[in-house]
Structure 1
Amino acid sequence: MTTFPLESFLGDLEFLINTDSGSADIEGNLQVASFFKERFEKAGLKTTLHRVGMLGHPVVTARTQGSASYDCFFSGHIDTVFPSGTVSERPFRRGGNFVYGPGTVDMKAGALLILYLAEYLRKEHPAFSFTIALNSDEEIGSPDSTPLLREFAANCRHIFVFEGQRKQGQFVNERKGIAKFDIEVLGVASHAGTAPQQGVSAILELSEIVVDFSKLQNLERGTSINVGLMEGGSALNVIPAHASAKMELRYTSHREYERILRAISKMETKPHLSGTSVTFTAISHYPPLEITEAAKQMMQTLAPLGLSYVKAGGTSDANRLACLGLPILDGCGPGGGFPHSEKEFLDITTVPARFWKMVEIMKRLAEFKR
């Protein structure tokens, strides 16, 4: 192949975009997963369609045969944030150098680029070994597929995540860590008119906690804290005995994470209001994607290619794989804009450019291995 088959790619992408595959749409994700399974099998890869979790989220895995370890792991997801029926409202649409539709850049184009890259490598560089995993619960944090992703990535030398490239074609080599917590506050109920002094407001205690968090965040260090959901109380004339909230912490360094954990522990052991109790329950935690020594070595190997890198505030499956200690490069997919919105688009011109850039990266890694 000397010219990237862009029209073929866009034809495949139209099918994928026009198939609803929100994270909760298991049937739609099965249709998309089956498409990839069939194509991976035709490329000569050992392919499996897994079902994970209580809902049976599909995960497609594929790998070259005859190896115990692999050069690379390619990671992508086929689910979107959009509910079933979105496609009927705004299906695949091409206008000039742009393609519009749900999940174009986040990240059906990236998943499809993995397929085209795999087909190319099997034909042109059959000795190059790799594994692939495309999951369908990434947009909700990959709660069910993470163990499988780690299992397939663990035997690889390098990890590439095909989220969309950044505006100027940069790759992503750092991502913030994210931790989510439930907060529950118990107070003492009492009549707000006849005996307010006998009550202790759970809502007031929760409000103090929210203020504490606003003081604890340090944006200069990349630490942000958001209490995004709150509820509490039972009636206007009752001192509230219960209040709850959900909090999200994003951070770049383990030291900052430990600092916030110490503050949370203090909030639990020493509430502001006597008579209240505070409990934090961890919902999920994924560490940051950091530039490790292994990542530095990979970047040095790829230096002749003139790649540029940025830090991202959002999370991806790169965060879920960071614990493996392997070098990870994210943002390997084509570019576009406005993910998770009605304006989401793919810049068609970035597809062949990104494809050939990924081919260069694979060749460079193969040469360095020799």
Structure 2
Amino acid sequence: MEWMKQRQEEMVGLLEQLVNTDSGSTYKEGIDRVADMLKGHYEALGFVVETIENEQNGNHLLFRQPDATEPKILLLGHMDTVFAKGTAAKRPFRTENGRAYGPGVVDMKGSQVTLLFALKYLAEHDPAALRNVIVLLNSDEELGSPTSRELIEETARPVDYALVMEPGRKDGSLVSSRRGGGRYEMHVQGRAAHSGGAPEEGISAIEELAHKIIKLNALSDHANGVSVSVGIIEGGEAVNMIPDRATGYIDVRVNTEQQSHEIHERIEAISTEPDVPGTTIRLEGGINRPPMEFNERNRALLEQVKSAGESFGLNVSHVHAGGGSDASFPSALGVATIDGLGPVGGELHNVEEYLELESLAERCYLVAETVRKLS
């Protein structure tokens, strides 16, 4: 911990650079700028950098030691934020009362700092451990990882452990399980008509969608972690027309893989039979993030992390998180996975997002000791 604390100023300096560099998920230039900033630090530790070009979003990065033939520990993080280009200029990095503020400061610019300095520590104190790690930083996690999911799964399959650098909870807890989820679009087609001159000739797509929304909402079972919500609707052309089109955008959350299959089948069944004769329905989408369940593998890894924390007097707690993350992908493949290893903070995706500066050194050491223990 003394080594970490001596580098607190250096950590905060890098954090400021990262936060003041916009890297919203759709701002490729900014994400690639963050990637270039991080590359040099990893190369200085002897890592070989592989850049996976991505025209749609920012590039993805893979780091491994040149003699790491079969690394067994995946360290996973993302370089994108939810904040648009120009946000950093409006709300630049600042510190106040032991906290750091700024766009993406804890989700997850702070995690990038935590991970990097954990590896710097190991390079000095246990360089052999670095041969057991592979680091993957993707650029589209906040979008659901559409271009990086396959890369994450391909990288995760050969490893034994996945340590995911999403921020810790406000109380410092790690994340041992997460809900899975998906997005659907329900497109309804009816028949247009003048609402005054010939309303009987029309078939209302909005009326049909209204029936479907009631049925979809009824699928929610909050006590068991199932949530189905139609968050956006659109349709029609003019108020004096019977609407011939309507679309509902559906968000789904589940706790288990079995629930994923069941809810998908029930949504498909609802889409099969129209309530308004003459309408047709087209359903798109599906479950795009499997749940991260608290299974025996993840439970055993949590015990290892707890043991690493105990070695320097840190009591490690854990929680279930309702939101999704890339941790779900290795976990669903059978890889022991723990999330929330980044620094402590709160108000994520918010103008008041903050990071507890004191937690930087603590989380760096926890990650380093966990990697060393697993190695």
TM-score past 0.5 threshold: yes
User: Which sits farther off after the overlay, 134-143 or 62-71?
Assistant: 62-71
Matching residue of 1:120: 121
TM-score by length of 1: 0.94
Contact map agreement 1:130 1:156 (CA 8 A) in 2: no
Matching residue of 1:47: 49
Unaligned segments of structure 1, at least 5 residues: none
After TM superposition, give the deviation of residue 56 of structure 1 in Å: 5.1
After TM superposition, give the deviation of residue 303 of structure 1 in Å: 5.0
Match among 10, 13, 28 for residue 11 of structure 1: 13
Contact map agreement 1:81 1:139 (CA 8 A) in 2: yes
Alignment of 1:77-226 (within 5 A): 77-128=78-129, 129-226=132-229
- The Cα offsets for residues 103-142 of structure 1, whole Å up to 9 and x where unpaired, read as 1000000012111111112221122110101112111111
Matching residue of 2:358: 349
Alignment of 1:24-35 (within 5 A): 24-35=26-37
Residues 1:327 and 2:336 are matched in the alignment: yes
Unaligned segments of structure 2, at least 5 residues: none
Return the alpha-carbon distance in structure 2 between the equivalents of residues 263 and 146 of structure 1: 26
1:214–1:76 distance in 2 versus 1, CA, 3 Å: same
Matching residue of 1:2: 2
Return the alpha-carbon distance in structure 2 between the equivalents of residues 353 and 300 of structure 1: 18
- Counterpart of 2:355, as a letter, is L
- The Cα offsets for residues 87-113 of structure 1, whole Å up to 9 and x where unpaired, read as 111101011201111110000000121
Matching residue of 1:229: 232
- Counterpart of 2:201, as a letter, is Q
Return the alpha-carbon distance in structure 1 between the equivalents of residues 155 and 261 of structure 2: 30
Contact map agreement 1:111 1:134 (CA 8 A) in 2: no
Return the alpha-carbon distance in structure 2 between the equivalents of residues 346 and 312 of structure 1: 19
Contact map agreement 1:73 1:160 (CA 8 A) in 2: yes
SS of the counterpart of 1:352?
A: helix
SS of the counterpart of 1:70?
A: coil
After TM superposition, give the deviation of residue 198 of structure 1 in Å: 2.7
Return the alpha-carbon distance in structure 2 between the equivalents of residues 55 and 7 of structure 1: 35
Alignment of 1:285-304 (within 5 A): 285-304=288-307
SS of the counterpart of 2:69?
A: coil
SS of the counterpart of 1:57?
A: coil
- Counterpart of 1:205, as a letter, is E
Return the alpha-carbon distance in structure 2 between the equivalents of residues 62 and 259 of structure 1: 38
Matching residue of 1:365: 374
Return the alpha-carbon distance in structure 1 between the equivalents of residues 101 and 170 of structure 2: 17
- The Cα offsets for residues 338-364 of structure 1, whole Å up to 9 and x where unpaired, read as 111111111101111112222332233
Return the alpha-carbon distance in structure 2 between the equivalents of residues 330 and 122 of structure 1: 23
Return the alpha-carbon distance in structure 1 between the equivalents of residues 279 and 66 of structure 2: 60
Return the alpha-carbon distance in structure 2 between the equivalents of residues 259 and 221 of structure 1: 13
Contact map agreement 1:82 1:102 (CA 8 A) in 2: yes
Return the alpha-carbon distance in structure 2 between the equivalents of residues 238 and 136 of structure 1: 44
- The Cα offsets for residues 144-167 of structure 1, whole Å up to 9 and x where unpaired, read as 122222222222211011111012
- Counterpart of 1:173, as a letter, is S
Q: How many residues align?
A: 365
Residues 1:259 and 2:268 are matched in the alignment: no
- Counterpart of 1:42, as a letter, is A
Alignment of 1:43-82 (within 5 A): 43-52=45-54, 54-55=55-56, 57-82=58-83
After TM superposition, give the deviation of residue 302 of structure 1 in Å: 4.3
Matching residue of 1:274: 277
Contact map agreement 2:115 2:367 (CA 8 A) in 1: no
1:284–1:219 distance in 2 versus 1, CA, 3 Å: closer
After TM superposition, give the deviation of residue 280 of structure 1 in Å: 1.0
1:56–1:105 distance in 2 versus 1, CA, 3 Å: closer
- Counterpart of 1:200, as a letter, is I
- Counterpart of 2:341, as a letter, is C
After TM superposition, give the deviation of residue 34 of structure 1 in Å: 0.7
- The Cα offsets for residues 154-187 of structure 1, whole Å up to 9 and x where unpaired, read as 2221101111101221110111111111110111
After TM superposition, give the deviation of residue 321 of structure 1 in Å: 2.8
Return the alpha-carbon distance in structure 2 between the equivalents of residues 279 and 24 of structure 1: 28
